[in-house]
Amino acid sequence: MTTPALSERSAPLWRAGGQLLRSQQLGLVLVLLLLGAALTAAAGSHTDRVTGAQVNNFLNAYTLIQMATDASAFAIMGVGATIVIISGGIDLSVGAIYALAGVVMAMVLRALGPMSPTATVLVALAVCLGVALLCGLINGGMVIGLGVHPFIITLGTMWMLRGLAFVISRAESILVPAPLTDVVKATFGFRTALYPVPLLVMLAVTALGSIYLTRTVMGRHVFAFGGNAEASRFSGLRVNRIQLGVYVLSGLTAGIAAFVGAAFYGSTTSSDGTGYELYVIASAVVGGASLAGGKGSAWSALLGALLIVMIRQAIRTLHLDQNYEWIIIGGALIIAVVLDQSGSRLLARRLAARG
């Protein structure tokens, strides 16, 4: 017979387990694990030139860190895109903001000339975030002030910002100073060619985004506004401030991604981030964010980005035609939306039946 004390102690464990089983991240984690296991089995192995040991072509430190690096930009911007989507909006301009922030940063650093490593990093970060913040303010201000659907506004600013980056840089590839690359490619004691900084930045941004959405009043207001905009207005929420805030946050995440990307690859150009908006939105939607608003998670956006990058890696590892990448990702996006809508309809029927 179970003692009352033991039952009281075990109850929180059961509740935690139930919450885990109901969490939207669990399905994504299981898919990632299954896909990873399949790739590990099918990828084959090679002989390490240094140690002589057999190394799996997929399950090794280099491939996993490279996947995290590839996913970092999508996941970082995916957090901002998820916040916008939860509010019922959309932001197609993140790739263009990424390019413009990187180009302006590199041009400012080139104009300023040699500085100390610390000053170089601080100036670069300030410029990236400043440009991205301004772009987010423009997007949010136009959505609020013009009363036009965010899809049209951000589609227009996507072309305008990319064109501005092209004009001011003259389509030139601009090198960034070595101190930036030294920071983002710090190994922290790992072997050569293992650079964990993009992974760490990705995790930090995702954690902050999750805290914002789940632990702050503004985050709860974003969910409320996305779930029912009219009810939010009647309840006294400052809806214009909410809308402006989500586009500013989306811009800032694009600025962070631009800083990491430009520093990691050592140069920047106006064509950087082309097509990123599709990967970013796909990461958010595959991660469970509802395009109808009111639903989404920062951690799910991270998992969605990892899934998309793992699909890309699977195509490379298995030596498949890379043209299938778009087909598979497009199919995954459609399936994710269909499943989300089916789940919403099922939940609505259950609630109606109970009522």
CA-to-CA separations, 217 to 9, 211, 212, 270, 285, in angstroms, rounded: 31, 11, 8, 37, 24
Q: Tell me, what's the pLDDT at 226?
A: 92
Enter the pTM of the model.
Answer: 0.88
pLDDT attached to residue 169? 93
355 residues of the chain, pLDDT tens digit each? 444 444 444 445 445 444 444 456 787 888 888 888 988 888 888 787 777 778 888 888 888 888 999 999 999 999 999 999 999 999 999 999 999 999 999 999 999 988 999 999 999 999 999 999 999 999 999 999 998 999 999 999 999 999 999 999 998 999 999 999 999 998 877 766 788 899 999 999 999 999 999 999 999 999 999 988 888 888 888 999 999 999 999 999 999 999 999 999 999 999 999 989 989 998 998 888 888 888 899 999 999 999 889 988 888 888 777 777 778 878 877 877 777 667 667 766 776 777 6
Within 13 Å and on the Cβ side, how many CA atoms surround 96? 20
CATH number of 56-337: 1.10.3470
pLDDT at 348: 66
What is the structure's pLDDT at 355?
61
Query: Domain residues of the chain, as ranges?
Result: 56-337
What pLDDT, on a 0 to 100 scale, did the predictor assign at position 89? 94
